[in-house]
């Protein structure tokens, strides 16, 4: 039962926290990515995932990390975004990786367009005192892409073996 609760909540909670952190601070702590990696390995081992499957999930994470790091080196994405994308890829493996990247890209494009439009309008005086909102509104600021990564991940996660392995009968309140 505890394993099922962890499968149900750990990944979504960490991804939501990464999105909120990126929105309010424009940074994603390394601790979030490390917790995602540790959580994956803990649940994979406790859940009986085969070593070959763990290795394939790890390969997906490493490939995304390499590509995301190259994008970071070119200044296209933030370092926290690159690490969270790789950690999410670890959870999805190759089976759901392309769908995740597609959704994250689509949500990222929509977020970028919305923020570019938002930055064209002056902030109402009542909101101008909010530091996080001023940072988000600044034209020289980047895009908090962790939001798109999290929404893409949360869109795909219900389709994964993590959720399909949950015994919902044991989670029901009696």
E strands along 27-157, which residues?
Answer: none
**Tokens standing for 35?**
């917790």
What does the pLDDT read at residue 80? 95
Question: What is the pLDDT at residue 13?
Answer: 97
Give the global pTM: 0.90
pLDDT tens, per residue, the chain with 174 residues? 788 889 989 999 999 999 999 999 999 999 999 999 999 999 999 999 999 999 999 999 999 999 999 999 999 999 999 999 999 999 999 999 999 999 999 999 999 999 999 999 988 888 888 889 888 898 888 899 999 999 999 999 999 998 888 866 665 555
Q: Which residue has the tokens 């939501």?
A: 16
Cβ atoms within 10 Å of 73's Cβ, excluding its own: 11
- What pLDDT sits at residue 4? 87
Dist. CA 66–CA 20, nearest whole Å: 25
Give the span between the Cα atoms of 76 and 68, in whole angstroms: 9
């Amino acid at each position: 039962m505890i394993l099922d609760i962890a499968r149900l909540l750990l990944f979504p909670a960490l991804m939501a926290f990464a999105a909120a952190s990126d929105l309010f601070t424009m940074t994603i702590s390394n601790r979030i990515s490390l917790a995602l990696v540790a959580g994956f390995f803990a649940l994979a081992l406790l859940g009986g995932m085969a070593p070959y499957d763990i290795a394939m999930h790890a390969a997906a994470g490493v490939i995304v990390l390499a590509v995301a790091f190259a994008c970071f080196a070119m200044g296209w994405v933030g370092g926290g975004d690159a690490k969270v994308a790789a950690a999410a890829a670890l959870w999805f493996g190759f089976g759901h990786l392309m769908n995740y990247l597609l959704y994250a890209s689509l949500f990222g494009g929509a977020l970028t367009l919305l923020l570019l439009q938002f930055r064209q309008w002056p902030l109402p005086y009542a909101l101008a005192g909010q530091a996080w909102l001023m940072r988000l509104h600044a034209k020289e600021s980047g895009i908090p892409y962790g939001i798109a990564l999290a929404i893409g991940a949360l869109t795909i996660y219900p389709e994964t073996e993590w959720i399909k392995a949950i015994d919902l009968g044991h989670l029901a309140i009696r």
